[in-house]
């Protein structure tokens, strides 16, 4: 086998894998207290990582993800949930000394269909993500409320949990390949049909619609096994009609870097940055603009393997969060299994074929 043929075969196997489908999952699912009022966004950082912009083999693919997160928050971030759950009026002055702890264990399913016919010279795909799981949260500390000369101090804790289904998250992507360079654009959003109550501390829905759009780039050299990807986008959040609260516009960047140790195994790093760029509307005055921010970074490992006449992919990645502001922060892990059509064995690469 010639060196060029070997390189093409390597690319075919990778492009034919479910990497892109796996990392294109989970666009905005809500975990514990994942509501706009709680300082956590519709967009779930970590959605994209390595090989995000590489095209796939046309046909149906399916990705399944087990997602676990554990986060905590203090001060105004924790108080944001107390204010909205407790319905503290805007005329009441509050002094807040609270701690929020939350966990979630979620299972996500993402069927995706990739079209063989080019659209604007690129590869078009559509999919939808649904989730099921358990979310729990508890809030403890002291809240002092004052109206004029009267002051009341509340000390204690309360919490709740829920096991149910979450919102639905449709997505469309368009990808282009030019040798080692790959480009993409995407649009996704939130259909608020999941379990949600404005008086509950833990939810699996966010209680409002949202739309998110952006673009990404992947550098992938299959001969050397080097890869780097970055995807950035903006989220517009619609008003929560139950609370009359509207989150500001969010900006986010997800990235991944990997090295293939063989044609089947990769290792690398993943990370994200999230920054809210406009103020919230409808919040208690004590919260101010309540713009939130968080950074995250961690390791990843991936394995490619055949599943009958399909291509399987298993990936484990984790993030530790830091530099959080007005947002719960902690750590999260993603275990992804995906399956997609196997790449054809002809000497013409799928990426070359779909971009004619």
Q: How many domains does the chain fold into?
A: 1
Per-residue confidence (pLDDT) for residue 193, from 0 to 100: 94
Query: Confidence band (pLDDT; 50, 70, 90) for 178?
Result: very high
Instruction: Give the integer Cα–Cα distance in Å for 327 and 77.
Output: 6
The answer to whether residue 49 is domain-embedded is yes
Q: Residue 114: what are its φ and ψ, rounded to 5°?
A: -105, 125
Per-residue confidence (pLDDT) for residue 280, from 0 to 100: 83
The answer to whether residue 155 is domain-embedded is no
The answer to whether residue 50 is domain-embedded is yes
The answer to whether residue 153 is domain-embedded is no
The answer to whether residue 149 is domain-embedded is no
Per-residue confidence (pLDDT) for residue 175, from 0 to 100: 98
The answer to whether residue 332 is domain-embedded is yes
Give the closest residue to 169 by CA, choosing from 192, 197, 186, 202: 192
Per-residue confidence (pLDDT) for residue 350, from 0 to 100: 36
Residues near 146 by Cβ (< 8 Å), separated by ≥ 6?
A: 92, 93, 94, 95, 152
Q: Which helix (H) or strand (E) holds 231?
A: strand 226-237
Tell me: pLDDT of 20 over 50.
no
The answer to whether residue 152 is domain-embedded is no
Give the closest residue to 126 by CA, choosing from 186, 194, 183, 168: 186
Global pTM reads 0.81
Residues near 258 by Cβ (< 8 Å), separated by ≥ 6?
A: 50, 51, 227, 228, 266, 267, 268, 269, 300, 302
Tell me: pLDDT of 35 over 60.
no
Of 26-40, 63-77, 98-112, where does the model show the most confidence? 98-112
Give 345's strand partners.
Answer: none
Structure tokens at 59: 């046909």
Tell me: pLDDT of 128 over 90.
yes
Query: Confidence band (pLDDT; 50, 70, 90) for 198?
Result: confident
**Contact indicator for 167, 201 with CB cutoff of 8 Å:** no
Helix ranges, the chain (H): 3-15, 19-23, 75-86, 350-354
Tell me: pLDDT of 351 over 50.
no
Q: How far is CA 340 from CA 36, 178, 221, 317, in A?
A: 34, 22, 22, 20
Q: Residue 75: what are its φ and ψ, rounded to 5°?
A: 60, -135
Q: Around Cβ 229, how many Cβ atoms within 10 Å?
A: 28
Give the closest residue to 207 by CA, choosing from 225, 220, 194, 216: 194
**Contact indicator for 101, 107 with CB cutoff of 8 Å:** no
The answer to whether residue 271 is domain-embedded is yes
**Contact indicator for 343, 13 with CB cutoff of 8 Å:** yes
Q: Residue 309: what are its φ and ψ, rounded to 5°?
A: -100, 15
Give 187's strand partners.
Answer: 172, 213
* Interval 248-302: pLDDT, tens: 999 999 999 999 999 899 999 999 999 999 988 876 545 656 688 899 999 999 9
For the chain, helix, strand, coil in percent to 5 are: 10, 55, 35
Per-residue confidence (pLDDT) for residue 210, from 0 to 100: 96
- What string of H, E and C letters represents the secondary structure of 110-128? EEEEECCCCECCEEEEEEE
**Tokens 């009609």 appear where?**
241
Q: Around Cβ 142, how many Cβ atoms within 10 Å?
A: 12
Q: What's the domain range around 199?
A: 3-144+160-354
Instruction: Give the integer Cα–Cα distance in Å for 113 and 136.
Output: 34
CATH of the domain at 199: 2.40.160.40
Per-residue confidence (pLDDT) for residue 348, from 0 to 100: 36
Three-state DSSP at 97 gives strand
Distance of CA 293 to the CA centre of its chain: 15
Distance of CA 322 to the CA centre of its chain: 17
Mean pLDDT of 311-316: 96
Q: Residue 250: what are its φ and ψ, rounded to 5°?
A: -110, 145
Mean pLDDT of 87-102: 62
Mean pLDDT of 148-164: 75
* Interval 53-90: pLDDT, tens: 999 999 999 999 999 999 887 665 555 555 555 545 55
Q: Residue 354: what are its φ and ψ, rounded to 5°?
A: -80, -15
Of 36-50, 95-109, 138-152, 262-276, where does the model show the most confidence? 262-276
* Interval 201-256: pLDDT, tens: 888 989 999 999 999 999 999 999 999 999 999 999 999 888 888 889 999 999 99
């Amino acid at each position: 086998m010639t060196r060029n043929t070997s390189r093409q075969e390597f690319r075919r196997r990778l492009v034919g894998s479910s990497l892109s489908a796996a990392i294109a999952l989970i666009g905005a699912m809500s975990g514990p207290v994942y509501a706009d009022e709680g300082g956590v966004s519709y967009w779930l950082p970590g959605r994209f990582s390595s090989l995000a912009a590489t095209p796939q083999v046309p046909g149906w693919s399916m990705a399944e993800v087990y997602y676990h997160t554990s986060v905590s928050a203090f001060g105004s971030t924790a108080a944001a949930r107390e204010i909205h759950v407790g319905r503290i009026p805007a005329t009441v002055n509050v002094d807040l000394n609270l701690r929020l702890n939350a966990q979630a264990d979620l299972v996500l399913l993402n069927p995706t269909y990739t079209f063989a016919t080019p659209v604007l010279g690129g590869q078009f795909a559509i999919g939808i993500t649904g989730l099921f799981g358990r979310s729990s949260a508890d809030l403890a500390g002291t809240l002092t409320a004052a109206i004029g000369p009267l002051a009341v101090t509340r000390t204690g804790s309360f919490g709740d949990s829920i096991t149910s289904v979450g919102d639905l998250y449709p997505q469309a992507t368009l990808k282009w390949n030019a040798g080692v360079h790959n480009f993409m654009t995407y649009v996704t959003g939130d259909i608020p049909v999941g379990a949600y109550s404005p008086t509950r501390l833990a939810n699996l829905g966010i209680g409002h619609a949202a739309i998110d759009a952006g673009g990404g780039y992947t550098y992938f050299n299959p001969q050397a096994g080097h890869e780097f990807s970055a995807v950035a986008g903006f989220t517009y959040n619609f008003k929560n009609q139950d609370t009359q609260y509207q989150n500001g516009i969010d900006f986010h960047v997800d990235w991944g870097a990997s090295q293939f140790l063989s044609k089947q195994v990769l290792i690398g790093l993943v990370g994200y940055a999230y920054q809210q760029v406009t103020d919230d509307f409808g919040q208690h005055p004590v919260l101010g603009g309540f713009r939130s921010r968080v950074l995250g970074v961690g390791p990843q490992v991936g394995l490619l393997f055949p599943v009958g006449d399909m291509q399987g992919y298993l990936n484990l990645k984790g993030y530790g969060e830091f530099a959080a502001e007005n947002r719960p922060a902690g750590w999260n892990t993603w275990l992804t299994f995906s399956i997609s059509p196997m790449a054809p064995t002809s000497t013409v690469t799928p990426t070359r074929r779909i971009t004619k």
